[in-house]
Structure 1
C-alpha cells in the first residue's frame, strides 16, 4: 500500500506558458488575488496536429506507479495543471485533495484502489434521473450555473485537423469534487443545453485531449444517464492517475471481419473495444462507430460507460505492451438511477476500467478483488441481453463496411 507519488504533472514546476503558441496566447491563470473573474474572459488553448503526441509514451518498467518528474509535461499538461493548482489555492473545490492512499489489490485483475473519503461524503447529490434519454432541464443544476473561476480554458482545434467543420467549443473546467489531481470536465458549448448523450465533437475532444497529454495516465471518460452521470448536461471527465490500469493491455478478440470492433477480455467487465493509432481518417471512423453504438444504446434505454486511454493494439496483448495508440472501451450495463450509499464504491467509468475510488477507510482496508468483482458484475447486463447488444453492435459495424 502506498500513496500516489505523482500528481498528474509536476505541479510545483510547470509553466503555464510553455510551448510553441506562447506568442499568441493569454494567461490561463486568474488575476492575482481576484475573487471575481467576471470581465476577464475565457482564455483559448489552441492546438494543432504537431501537438498530438503519438509515440514514445510508456510506463517505466517494473514500477507500480509513475515517479514525480518521470515524464516532461506537454504544453497541455502544463497549462491544465498550473491553472488547476491555482484553483486549489483559491478554494474553488469542495475539499482540498491531499495525497490519496493507493493500493493494487492482490489478484489477477490488478485493481487500483484509492481512498477518497471527501469525494464520497461531499460531492453534489446526483440529479433525479429516470431515463437514459431524459431531456435537459435548465431549472436543475447545470454547467451554465458554475462560478466563472471554475473554467480553466476553451479547447480549440486549428483548422488543419480533420473534422474541424464539426468542431465545437469545449470548455475545460474543474470538477469541484475531484477524483484525483487534475480532474476536469470537458463541456461542449454549455449554453446549448445539451443532454448527457455522447456526440461526435465531444468524443473527438476527449480522444485528442488524451493525445495532447504526454502522461500515460491521463484518461477521459463518459457516463450516460443511468450509468451514474450525476448531471444531465453533456460532459466528459478527464483526470490523471499515475498507475497502469487493466484495460490498457488486456487481450481481446475481434467481433467483425474488418477488426473494427473487439471484445475486451480478462478485465473487470467485458467491454467493446475500439482502437485508433492516431488522428486522421482512422480516428474519424472510430468516432463515427462509437457514437453510432452509443446512439443505439441510448435509443433503447441501455445505460453505458465509456473510457478513453492510451493502450496497446487489439489482440493478445499484456499490461507491459507499448501504448502505441488510443483504446476506447464501451460498456453496456444495467441502469442505476441514484447512488448506492452502502457500497464501497459506485460502478461507473473508472471502476469498470479498474480504478476504484473507495469511500471509507474500513472498506479500503478490507476490500478484496473478489468483492470488487462482485460489485461490478452486479451492474452488468444479464447474459441474454448482453448477447443481443453484442449482435446489434456487430451488425452496425457491418453496415459501415458495406
Structure 2
C-alpha cells in the first residue's frame, strides 16, 4: 500500500516516542492539520488516494500498537470479554478486573509535568505518542521531532484502556483552566475526530471528573460497534437548516437525558456546543460530551450529582458502555441495574426543559 510506504519515510515509527530533552523543552512527533483557508465547512486532504485509512488514523494506531507491542499496557483490552446486555437498549458490558476509573490518578503527575514544563518530574515518557496542532500549509504535515506547540493537544496512550486505541488528548497550554472547556481546544478535538475519519473513533470529555483535579483533558478510543445512545431515536428541537447548518435533537426512550448537536459546519458546531458548556460550567452543572460520526455529531449529557457515589457517569457510560471488575458483576449485569445507575444523575423535568430552550436560543443567536 502506497500510504504505508510513504509513512515509513515521512514518519519513523522505529523512533522511540520517549521525549527528547533539551534546554528548550521536550520534543516529540508533531502532526499539523492542513490550513483552513477561512472555510467553515469540514474539509480534509488527509485521506489516501486509494481511499484507505487517513494519515492521522494510521499514525495514531501505529503509535498505539507500538506502545502496546513494547509491553507498556497493563493488559490486553482486546482479550476482555464483551456482551450485549439484554433488555432492548443493547447496553454493552465489558469484563475487566484490572481497569478502574481511579487509574487516571497514575497520570496526574504526567499532566502536571506538562503544565509546569518540568519533564524530569514525570514518572515515564513512554506513553507520549505525538502532538497535534493546527497548521498553515495546504496539506497536513508530520515533523518527526518537534517541540510541543503552545496551542496544540498532546496525545498520551492510556496504559489502562477501556477500549482499543485508548488515548488522552491533553492541551499543551500551560495555563489551561481546570474542567473549563476551551473553545479552541474543543475545536481541535472535534477536528481530530474528523481527520481520523474512522467511524469507530469516538472522543470523550467529562467536566466533572474528580480523579485528575487540576487538568482539562479529552479521551478517545475505538469501538467496533455503535454505542447504544448513538442508536437511540431522537426528536428535533431546533432545525437550523433555514439559517445555519446546526440541528439540535433530544434522545427519546433513553434512560439518560441527552441533547444531540449535528452539523457539517465545524465552526458553527464548536461555537454552539462550547457556548452551552460555558453556561453549564457557570451553573456548576456537570456534563459529559461524546463526539462521534467523524466529528459531525456531539452528544451532550448534563448530569446532577449522584448522592450515593458523589461521582457522575463517565462519557462512555453515558453512551451505554460499562466496565465490570468481577465475573459476578459481569454475569449479573442487567438493563434494570444500569437504569438504576443512570436515573439518579439524569437531569429531569423543568431543568432539562430550561436547558433545551437555552440550547435552541444559543443555536439561533449564533447563526445570525
TM-score range, shorter chain: 0.7 to 0.9
Among candidates 85, 90, 100, match of residue 110 of structure 1:
90
Could you say which structure has the higher helix fraction?
A: 2
Is 293-302 or 392-401 further displaced after alignment? 392-401
TM-superposed CA distance for 1:292, in Å, is 0.3
Among candidates 99, 102, 115, match of residue 79 of structure 2:
99
CA distance in 2 between partners of 1:90 and 1:140 (Å): 20
| Structure 1 match to 2:29 | 43
| Structure 1 match to 2:54 | 74
Count of residues in Structure 1 that have an aligned counterpart in Structure 2: 333
| Structure 2 match to 1:334 | 304
TM-score (norm 2): 0.78
Q: How does 1:103-182 map to 2 (within 5 A)?
A: 103-120=83-100, 123-125=103-105, 142=112, 144=114, 145=122, 147-159=124-136, 168-182=151-165
CA distance in 2 between partners of 1:216 and 1:367 (Å): 27
Verify the 8 A CA contact 2:110 2:123 in the aligned structure 1: no
| Structure 2 match to 1:252 | 234
CA distance in 2 between partners of 1:401 and 1:212 (Å): 25
Verify the 8 A CA contact 1:26 1:44 in the aligned structure 2: no
CA distance in 2 between partners of 1:398 and 1:189 (Å): 33
CA distance in 2 between partners of 1:184 and 1:269 (Å): 25
SS at match of 1:88: helix
Matched, 1:199 2:182: yes
| Structure 2 match to 1:304 | 287
Cα distance, 1:365–1:228 mapped onto 2, change above 3 Å: farther
Q: How does 1:3-402 map to 2 (within 5 A)?
A: 18=4, 25-31=10-16, 38=21, 41-48=27-34, 49-51=44-46, 72-120=52-100, 123-125=103-105, 142=112, 144=114, 145=122, 147-159=124-136, 168-225=151-208, 227=209, 230-258=212-240, 260-277=247-264, 282-310=265-293, 326-335=296-305, 347-402=313-368
* Runs (5+) with no aligned partner, structure 1: 1-13, 57-71, 128-137, 162-166, 312-324
CA distance in 2 between partners of 1:302 and 1:146 (Å): 34
Residue deviations 1:349-399 (CA, integer Å, cap 9, x gap): 001111112222111111111211221122112423222222222332232
Alignment root-mean-square deviation, CA: 3.5
Verify the 8 A CA contact 1:18 1:75 in the aligned structure 2: no
CA distance in 2 between partners of 1:391 and 1:22 (Å): 51
| Structure 1 match to 2:117 | none
SS at match of 1:192: coil
